[in-house]
């Protein structure tokens, strides 16, 4: 639920953290160039246009955002105003502020499945939100779909894909259901109120997903992500290629691109209180050792369907990946989970489906 006073305090705290970035974590005063900005976590689209503008102003005051920066706003289907007219006006305001990419969790076009997931929107909201964004001038739109929901059939999943491809967003994030312990859905499955996810059916859904989406002209560039040519998520790709990124706000995570990771306070109220007391919101710091860096490069590199460049790996770590995992690679190749194409090591389609098993072997 949106609380205006809490939002006002949070936006002030966020702007303050951004403006004092060097004082908190880094020395020096050189402005840093920024080519991606991502408003995510919670529901940032509930903020007023003025509040989003205030945050962007803080970013531009502290950093040097390039003209072609990819600025993404996560929204919920149906957010953006009380009426159709005000929603459209708000979406046009986002464009005016320089936000050119929108991302939202559609999850499914089946209203029964949305209720199962505890979502407050319906399939109609998904369609109207998408068309509203298009009318407001957004060309770069992403939405998520989930396969393998309890009771979901292969035919139902195909209908979801058909609905998505008819809209033809620039980017699609398509996930297999991951039931997290402690969630209502996990509890319902444990108590026998919902069927357990069918792994064989999920595998078939994943295969159909790749076939249909790629046949429609999308590129499968990451395990769960597809895009029309030129519309990869530039921001998320930074995570998979170990580039530096700096997070601000409650529960934000950062990485300096070398060895250091740090994370902010997870509780929004405590985060604001820390900033108001002029204290650092950072509550967790990690320094990666050589083995951490090497393992991350394998785990993250294989998430991208282009795979790992073995020459780059040798240049970075002074070792050949094939020497490190000689027997393991042979087993994974024989199982049809990875393939070695000259100097590129990458997942097969089957390997992408069973990526957790691959990562476990190469840990």
User: How far is 133 from 153, CA to CA, in rounded Å?
Assistant: 30
The DSSP letter of residue 245 is B
Per-residue confidence (pLDDT) for residue 200, from 0 to 100: 86
Element (H, E) at 13: helix 4-19
The whole-number pLDDT of residue 83 equals: 62
pTM for the model stands at: 0.91
Higher pLDDT, 230 or 120: 230
Closest-CA residue to 103 (of 169, 52, 163): 169
- Percentage with pLDDT > 90 across the chain: 74
Give dist(CA 275, CA 52) in Å, integer.
Answer: 19
User: Measured in Å, how far apart are the chain's first and last C-alpha atoms?
Assistant: 41
Domain ranges of the chain: 31-240, 309-361
- For position 66, what pLDDT does the model report? 84
Q: How would residue 178 be classed by pLDDT, with cut points 50, 70 and 90?
A: confident
- Give me the residues paired with residue 102 across strands: 73, 141
Question: Residue 106 and residue 122: Cα distance in Å, rounded?
Answer: 9
pLDDT (0 to 100) of residue 80: 46
> For residue 225, what are the contacts with CB-CB under 8 A and spacing of at least 6?
171, 172, 173, 174, 232, 233, 236
Label the pairing between strands 64-75 and 33-39.
parallel
SS3 state of residue 175: strand
Buried-state track 199-231, b at ≥16 Cβ within 10 A, e below 16: eeebeebbeebbebbeebebbbbbbbbbbbeeb
Q: Quickly tell me which residue has 């945050």 as its tokens.
A: 55
Closest to 362 (Cα-Cα) out of 297, 305, 280, 312: 297
Give the model confidence (pLDDT) of 4-48 as tens digits. Answer: 889 999 999 999 999 998 755 554 455 678 999 999 987 899 899
Nearest CA to 34 out of 18, 14, 15 is that of: 18
Cα separation, 40 vs 70, in Å, equals 14
Q: Enumerate residues 6+ apart whose C-beta is below 8 A from 3.
A: none
- Between 331 and 82, name the one with better pLDDT: 331
pLDDT band at 180 (very low <50, low <70, confident <90, very high): low
CA 227 to chain centre: 14
Instruction: Determine the pLDDT at residue 48.
Output: 93
Round the CA-based radius of gyration of the chain to a whole number and report it. Answer: 22
pLDDT above 90 for 65 = no
pLDDT given at position 326: 82
Question: What gap in Å lies between CA 315 and CA 288, rounded to an integer?
Answer: 19
Mean pLDDT on 245-268: 95
Task: Please give the Cα distance from 81 to 88 (Å, whole number).
Answer: 8
> Which residues touch 253 (CB under 8 Å, ≥6 apart)?
247, 261, 262, 263, 264
Q: Which of 126, 170, 124 is nearest to 146 (CA)?
A: 126
Mean pLDDT of the region 266-278: 97
Please tell me the distance from the alpha carbon of residue 245 to that of residue 25, in angstroms, as a whole number: 13
Cα 270 from Cα 48, distance rounded (Å): 23
Calpha distance 327→334 (Å, rounded): 11
The more confident residue out of 138 and 83 is: 138
The pLDDT assigned to 184 comes to 67
What CATH number belongs to 31-240? 3.30.750.200
The predicted structure's pLDDT at residue 116:
83
Compute CA 291 distance to the chain's CA centroid, rounded to the nearest angstrom: 26
C-alpha to C-alpha distance for 265 and 343, rounded to whole angstroms? 42
Q: How far is CA 254 from CA 55, 103, 275, in A?
A: 18, 21, 17
* Spatial separation of the C-alpha atoms in residues 295 and 331, rounded to whole Å: 19
Q: Please, what is the average pLDDT of the chain?
A: 90
Residue 335, pLDDT > 60, answer yes
Q: Which helix (H) or strand (E) holds 55?
A: helix 49-62
pLDDT of residue 96: 95
pLDDT per position as a tens digit, 191-243: 777 767 677 898 899 999 999 999 999 999 999 999 999 999 999 999 999 99
pLDDT for 211 equals 96
| 61 SS3 class | helix
């Amino acid at each position: 639920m949106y609380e205006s006073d809490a939002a006002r305090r949070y936006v002030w705290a966020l702007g303050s953290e951004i403006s004092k970035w060097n004082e908190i974590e880094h020395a020096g005063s050189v402005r840093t160039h920024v080519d991606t900005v991502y408003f995510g976590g919670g529901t940032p689209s509930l903020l007023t246009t003025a509040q989003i503008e205030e945050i962007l102003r803080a970013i531009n005051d502290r950093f040097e955002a390039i003209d072609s920066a990819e600025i993404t706003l996560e929204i919920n289907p149906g957010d953006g105003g009380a009426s159709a007219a005000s929603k459209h006006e708000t979406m046009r305001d986002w464009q005016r502020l320089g936000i050119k990419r929108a991302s939202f969790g559609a999850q499914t076009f089946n209203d029964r499945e949305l209720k199962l997931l505890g979502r407050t929107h319906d399939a109609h909201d998904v369609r109207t939100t998408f068309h509203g964004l298009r009318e407001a001038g957004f060309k770069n739109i992403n939405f998520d779909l989930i396969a393998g929901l309890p009771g979901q059939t292969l035919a139902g999943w195909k209908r979801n894909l058909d609905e998505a491809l008819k809209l033809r967003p620039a980017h699609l994030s398509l996930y297999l259901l991951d039931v997290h312990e402690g969630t209502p859905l996990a509890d319902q499955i444990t108590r026998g109120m919902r069927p357990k996810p069918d792994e064989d059916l999920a595998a078939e859904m994943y295969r159909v997903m790749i076939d249909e989406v790629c046949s429609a002209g999308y590129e499968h560039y990451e395990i769960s992500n597809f895009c029309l040519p030129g519309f990869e998520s530039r921001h998320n790709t930074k995570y998979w290629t170990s580039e530096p990124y700096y997070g601000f706000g409650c529960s934000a995570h950062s990485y300096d691109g070398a060895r250091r990771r740090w994370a902010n306070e997870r509780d929004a109220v405590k985060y604001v209180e820390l900033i108001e007391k002029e204290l650092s919101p950072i509550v967790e710091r990690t320094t990666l050792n050589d083995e951490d860096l090497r393992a991350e490069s394998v785990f993250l590199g294989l998430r991208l369907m282009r795979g790992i460049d073995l020459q780059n790996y040798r240049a970075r770590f002074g070792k050949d990946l094939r020497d490190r995992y000689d027997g393991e690679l042979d087993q994974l190749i024989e199982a049809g989970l990875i393939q070695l194409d000259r100097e590129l090591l990458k997942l097969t389609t089957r390997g992408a489906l069973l990526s957790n098993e691959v990562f476990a072997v190469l840990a």
